Chain A
Amino acid sequence: GQSLEQPSEVTAVEGAIVQINCTYQTSGFYGLSWYQQHDGGAPTFLSYNGLDGLEETGRFSSFLSRSDSYGYLLLQELQMKDSASYFCASNAGKSTFGDGTTLTVKP
């Protein structure tokens, strides 16, 4: 089976940096994806790590450590529009999403 664990809520202020962690237990792990979902909207793809290390896409970065079964999403220069739910996901065998982390950005 597969399971991905992430914190349920994170709060930060505008302009700050926030890190959302994801630990996983999967068999046949291939990589970790991150998705963003605004309230009531469709999830949208943010980033993917197939290998260990850091992937950077603008203000967002994602990191993976296979040896630690751990990854994180790093959001820099937070903006109010970044308030949303963030999901880590694995695609090994069948698609599995974590329960999501609700990020609240305060002014």
Chain B
Amino acid sequence: DSGVTQTPKHLITATGQRVTLRCSPRSGDLSVYWYQQSLDQGLQFLIQYYNGEERAKGNILERFSAQQFPDLHSELNLSSLELGDSALYFCASSVYGGDTLNTQYFGPGTRLTVL
């Protein structure tokens, strides 16, 4: 158990809908990352927040947005969902937001299925 929690574990929805994925980082961690992993694919970095501020952005679609709240939990909002958005979405947290050793601790993931 990494100490990172994600809810829900599974989510099934229809095309065109909007969903919200939630992540609570490990106690003391200030940074939260979001990743998308499609079937048999690598981890695609979406976005990183550090202490409430956006720190880095990856290949995140305009239909997706995220935020980190004052209590440091984060939410990833996915809208106008398409079949291709079906994937495993991971949240990770780390103590720092910097570029050096910054071990990321991953949550169990949310499996999103768009029908």
| Chain A contacts to B: CB under 8 angstroms | 28, 30-31, 33, 35, 40-45, 48, 50, 87, 91-100
Which size class do B's interface residues fall under?
20 to 34
Contact: A28 with B109, CB < 8 Å?
no
User: Which of chain B's residues 43-97 have a Cβ closer than 8 Å to chain A?
Assistant: 43, 45, 48, 56-58, 88, 90, 92
Contact: B108 with A42, CB < 8 Å?
yes
CA distance A35 to B92 in the complex (A): 12
Q: Provide the B14-28 mask, 1 if CB < 8 A to any CB of A, else 0.
A: 000000000000000
Contact among A30, A48, A97, A99 with B103 in the assembled complex (CB-CB below 8 Å): A48
Contact among B88, B104, B107, B109 with A95 in the assembled complex (CB-CB below 8 Å): B104
Task: Tally inter-chain residue pairs, CB-CB below 8 A.
Answer: 62
Contact: B100 with A95, CB < 8 Å?
no
A–B complex contacts, Cβ < 8 Å, 13 sampled? A31-B100, A31-B101, A33-B103, A33-B104, A40-B88, A41-B108, A42-B90, A43-B106, A48-B101, A87-B43, A91-B99, A94-B48, A100-B42
Given known pairs A43-B106, A45-B103, the reply for A99 and B42 (CB within 8 Å) is yes
Shortest distance from the beta carbon of A9 to any chain B beta carbon, whole Å: 11
Contact: B56 with A95, CB < 8 Å?
yes
Contact among B42, B98, B102, B109 with A42 in the assembled complex (CB-CB below 8 Å): B109
CA distance A99 to B48 in the complex (A): 19
Contact: B99 with A93, CB < 8 Å?
yes
Contact: A30 with B99, CB < 8 Å?
yes
CA distance A35 to B42 in the complex (A): 12
Shortest distance from the beta carbon of B103 to any chain A beta carbon, whole Å: 5
CB-CB < 8 A to A44: which residues of B? 2, 106
CA distance A35 to B37 in the complex (A): 14
CA distance A85 to B65 in the complex (A): 29
Contact: A93 with B42, CB < 8 Å?
no
Given known pairs A42-B109, A87-B42, A95-B33, the reply for A50 and B101 (CB within 8 Å) is yes
CB-CB < 8 A to A100: which residues of B? 42-43
